[in-house]
Every structure is written in structure tokens, then in C-alpha cells.
Amino acid sequence: MEEKIPESIENIEIFRFKKEANAYYKTAIGGLRRKNIFTNEILYNIISMSIEKYIMAYLLARKYLPACHTLSGLIKDLKKFIPVEESLEKKVAQFDNLQFICVLSFFSPEPISDTEISDMVLVLQQIKELVQTDTV
């Protein structure tokens, strides 16, 4: 079933973020069954993008633009509008530590494990359910 495109520019952006979040979600879930193509590092990035897009759709629906797009930063902003379980917030903080995207010095990260990817998928599903209501 295809979603109806909203008419206002504001709602178009919310719709776009939500549509992209759903596409990343679908790719991540499908990628779990295709480990020969989707490495854990690739899945990490796809899952992270889906989480970011879901939260952005929710925040934009409230006319709020976050200053930071790290997963932890987005969760902190999300908490301004809805309750977020502490355990979920801690899990998301752990995900930020799997890849140090903003680190200026050289580092050698540990490979992302299957368990960490499983945890990320569970968090993704929780966030999807948490923000699905009240968006376009």
C-alpha cells in the first residue's frame, strides 16, 4: 500500500524522513539474511541511518531541529518530547562507541559483532515503535 504524499512542505520533509527510515529498516532486516553481502559494519551504518531518520521524522513533526545527529544526541532530543527508557538510552550510547566517526586521531576499532548487530536491530524496532505514532 502506497502512502499518500502530504501537501505542505513541512509535511513533505517529515514524510521523506519516514519513508527513508522505512527503506533503511527494510534493507537492514533483509541484510541480516545476506551476510555474504551485508557485513556487520554495513549493517551498523544502515541501522544507524534508519534510527536517525525515524527520530528526525518525529522531531520535525514537532518543529524541532536537533543540533547534533549522533544517535545519543538524537535520543537526548527525543527525550524532550517522550519518555525514553534508560536502558534504551544506554544501548544507543554503546552504539555510538562502536564507530568513532568524529574522532580526529587514528584508532583501530574492534570488529562489530553479530551480538551487537542483534542488539541494534532490537533498538531499531523499539525506536520505530516509539516514534511511529504522531508523525505524518
- Look up the pTM and report it: 0.86
CA pair distance 43, 63, nearest whole angstrom: 30
pLDDT of 104 reads: 52
Report all structural domains of the chain as residue ranges with CATH numbers, in order of start.
9-132 (1.20.120.330)
Residue 87 has a pLDDT of 95
The predicted pLDDT at position 102 comes to 53
Cβ atoms of residues 54 and 18 within 8 Å: yes
Query: What pLDDT does 10 receive?
Result: 72
Residue 81's pLDDT is: 95
DSSP helix/strand/coil, 38: coil
Write out the chain's pLDDT in tens, 136 residues: 455 555 676 788 899 999 999 999 999 999 999 989 999 999 999 999 999 999 999 999 999 999 888 899 999 999 999 999 999 999 998 888 776 555 555 555 678 999 999 999 999 999 999 998 655 5
Q: If we measure between CA atoms, which residue out of 26, 6, 33 comes closest to residue 114?
A: 33
Q: Give the integer Cα–Cα distance in Å for 61 and 30.
A: 28
* pLDDT on residue 21: 97
pLDDT of residue 3: 56
> What does each C-alpha distance from 108 to 41, 96, 103 come to in angstroms?
14, 15, 11
Three-class SS of 43-104: HHHHHHHHHHHHHHHHHHHCCCCCCCCCHHHHHHHHCCCCCCCHHHHHHHHHHHCCCCCCCC
pLDDT at 38: 95
